[in-house]
Amino acid sequence: MCVRCSAITAAPVVVSEVHQGSGPGFNVYACPECAPHFPPVPDVLDLFDDQDRRRFTRP
Q: pLDDT tens, 8-52? A: 999 999 999 998 889 899 999 999 999 999 998 887 777 776 665
Closest CA to 29 of 55, 4, 57, 58: 4
Q: For residue 47, what pLDDT is reported?
A: 72
pLDDT at 56 exceeding the cut of 80: no
Closest CA to 28 of 37, 54, 49, 50: 37
Give strand pairing partners of 13.
30
Instruction: Read off the pLDDT of residues 6-18 as tens digits, 9 standing for 90 and up.
Output: 999 999 999 999 9
Name the residue ranges covered by the structural domains of the chain. Answer: 13-56
pTM of the model: 0.69
Q: For residue 32, what pLDDT is reported?
A: 98
